[in-house]
Amino acid sequence: MTEHTRAGVRRLTEEVGTGALDPVRLAEAVSAAIAAKDSGPSGLRAFLSHDPAKLADRAGSLAQELDEARRAGRPVPALSGVPVAVKDNLCTLDHPTTCGSRMLEGFRSPYEATAVRRLRAAGALVVGKTNMDEFGMGSTTEQSAFGPTRNPHAPDRVPGGSSGGSAAAVAAGMVTAALGSDTGGSVRQPAALCGVVGIKPTYGGVSRYGLVAYASSLDQVGTFGRTVDDAASVLQVIMGPDPRDATCAGHPPANLFAAVDRGADGLVVGVPEEYFPEDMEPGIRRLAAAAIEGLAREGAEVRLMSLPHHRFAIPTYYVLAPAEASANLARYDGVRYGTRTDAPDADCTYSRTRSAGFGTEVKRRILLGTYVLSAGYQDRYYGQAQRVRHLIAADFQTAFDSGVDVIFTPTTPDVASPLGYRSPDPYRRYQGDAFTVAANLAGIPGASVPIGTSQGLPVGGQLLAARWQEPRLIRAAAALERVAGTPATSMGR
Ligand code: GLN
């Protein structure tokens, strides 16, 4: 019955809305798909928690609500019956919230994230919580304390990260859509490596109430779907002001589909030379070129351009993100939440708890962040990174001011790596984020859309737009999806 989860948001809500499809049957089908694909030694392990009985319960109440709405002639909500998976750093009442960390193993939040509440209010079925790199720090899900997720297209490869579980759950057809978070690419990159669509909205677009903080000036909630329509339909529901998050923009969200019918005709697409380095995977270069040609054939005006400060994006990000993380993660002291390793005195309890609770990568980031914020170095590292961040953002602004509507780049410089493979040099590993971090530094929205396969593995094309130009971004993403052909999501059909 996974054909239901593959049907797409619009068809599903229509079938559930008219009563043709019973949410309880749908919930059973979803749980059966997860049982078949996700567990066991060769399973994908996209989910950290999933409770079939609770899901069936929720589906039962939804069925009742929909019946009442139909009888009263009220419209059914926008995501009625849509099965959605949620990254394990968004707080939920039905499931634990672990952030992929021993530190929060078994932690149950007393409240629910705004994004999750909005999904439920729109009739979505929250299916379970998905695997992730610990606290969002990583690009493979291998930094999860609970073991890695497999890539549905190649089970011996990583799905990307840090929202790898969400991307894999969608790619494998276990759910229709998913939520993730994107601090430096964690929605767009796993979407690219798993052959699905991922959208990161403008900084401040979605409430972060109930999103466990990684780096607060960069974090955003984003969405996954097998199509642009699916990912955007979910984003439409969760975007918009929230009195519980002062960093969330105060104005009502735009109609994300307002410009979608205009296609690529007349769209000015900027192509920055810096995003096509010598050493990128040749298949990705070829597919990116083909995607650009495709957009041009549909009437887009392609402009070669430059983002001159691009080479500073990785060093800037890897100063700022760890600095903010070191402050945000100071709260895990074993007193209020999560696991504790007891010791005779308080200081010792803190240090033992943190030594046992955090994984290697998280510790590396805390050390890095503490160092760049330390007395005597703060201006040299943190202050300098802040200044460079402004230059990176100004590069984008200059391009958009000169008439560029959207910028096209590959989402990643390489395809999914084999599980267990990692460069011993962390700086080299961080280079894999070279195409995604700048959007977070600039606070602009971005999307990754499948543009084909190389070495049999999915490749994503990234689109970036000016702040609050989501309708333009969605218009370009839909056009790109059309010219790039059917998404590479054949797995498991
Ligand atoms: N891979 C990047 C990091 O490790 C981005 C992660 C993210 O967006 N959460 O910080």
What are the residue numbers of the active site? 87, 162, 186
Q: Nearest to residue 168, comparing CAs of 183, 430, 147?
A: 147
pLDDT in tens, 357-371: 999 999 999 999 999
Measured in Å, residue 136 CA sits from the centre of ligand 1 at 6
pTM above 0.95, yes or no: yes
Residue 280 in this model has a pLDDT that exceeds 70: yes
The answer to whether the CB of 432 is under 6 A from ligand 1 is: no
Token pair in block for residue 149: 């997720």
Q: What is the mean pLDDT of residues 465-483?
A: 98
pLDDT, residue 189, reads: 98
Q: Check if the beta carbon of residue 105 is closer than 8 Å to that of residue 145.
A: yes
Q: Give Cβ neighbours of residue 231 (< 8 Å, ≥ 6 apart).
A: 177, 196, 197, 198, 199, 223, 224, 225, 447
Measured in Å, residue 492 CA sits from the centre of ligand 1 at 29
The answer to whether the CB of 82 is under 6 A from ligand 1 is: no
Nearest CA to ligand 1 atom 10: 137
Nearest CA to ligand 1 atom 5: 184
**What atom of ligand 1 comes closest to residue 187's alpha carbon?**
8
pLDDT in tens, 138-156: 999 999 999 999 999 999 9
The answer to whether the CB of 182 is under 6 A from ligand 1 is: yes
The answer to whether the CB of 185 is under 6 A from ligand 1 is: yes
pLDDT, residue 232, reads: 98
Measured in Å, residue 185 CA sits from the centre of ligand 1 at 6
Measured in Å, residue 293 CA sits from the centre of ligand 1 at 31
Peptide bond into 162 cis (omega under 30): yes
The answer to whether the CB of 369 is under 6 A from ligand 1 is: no
pLDDT, residue 7, reads: 79
The answer to whether the CB of 134 is under 6 A from ligand 1 is: no
CA separation for the pair 189, 186 (Å, rounded) = 6
CA separation for the pair 378, 381 (Å, rounded) = 6
User: Of 341 and 136, which is predicted with more confidence?
Assistant: 136
Measured in Å, residue 412 CA sits from the centre of ligand 1 at 13
Band the pLDDT of 345: cuts 50, 70, 90: very high
Q: What is the DSSP letter of 254?
A: P
CA separation for the pair 223, 420 (Å, rounded) = 27
What is the H or E stretch that residue 220 is in? strand 220-225
The answer to whether the CB of 183 is under 6 A from ligand 1 is: yes
Measured in Å, residue 340 CA sits from the centre of ligand 1 at 26
DSSP string, 436-483: THHHHHHT--EEEEEEEEETTEEEEEEEEE-TT-HHHHHHHHHHHHHH
Measured in Å, residue 326 CA sits from the centre of ligand 1 at 14
Measured in Å, residue 366 CA sits from the centre of ligand 1 at 14
How does the average pLDDT of the chain come out, rounded? 95
pLDDT in tens, 19-40: 999 999 999 999 999 999 999 8
pLDDT, residue 211, reads: 98
The answer to whether the CB of 128 is under 6 A from ligand 1 is: no
**What atom of ligand 1 comes closest to residue 321's alpha carbon?**
10
Residue 491 in this model has a pLDDT that exceeds 70: no
Q: Nearest to residue 156, comparing CAs of 457, 460, 459?
A: 457
pLDDT in tens, 423-457: 778 788 899 999 999 999 999 999 999 999 999 99
The answer to whether the CB of 138 is under 6 A from ligand 1 is: yes
CA separation for the pair 228, 220 (Å, rounded) = 18
Token pair in block for residue 301: 């005006």
Mutate to test the pocket of ligand 1, among 135, 142, 182, 186 (most ligand atoms within 8 A of CB): 186
Band the pLDDT of 2: cuts 50, 70, 90: low
Mutate to test the pocket of ligand 1, among 135, 139, 368, 441 (most ligand atoms within 8 A of CB): 139
Mutate to test the pocket of ligand 1, among 101, 131, 133, 364 (most ligand atoms within 8 A of CB): 133
pLDDT in tens, 43-62: 999 999 999 999 999 999 99
**What atom of ligand 1 comes closest to residue 136's alpha carbon?**
9
Q: At what angle do helices 282-297 and 470-483 cross, to 10 degrees?
A: 100
The answer to whether the CB of 436 is under 6 A from ligand 1 is: no
CA separation for the pair 463, 48 (Å, rounded) = 30
The answer to whether the CB of 139 is under 6 A from ligand 1 is: yes
Q: At what angle do helices 23-37 and 9-18 cross, to 10 degrees?
A: 140
Residue 4 in this model has a pLDDT that exceeds 90: no
The answer to whether the CB of 220 is under 6 A from ligand 1 is: no
Q: Nearest to residue 470, comparing CAs of 250, 254, 248?
A: 254
Burial of 71 (0-12, 13-18, 19+ CB in 10 A): exposed
Q: How many CB atoms lie within 10 A of CB 257?
A: 17
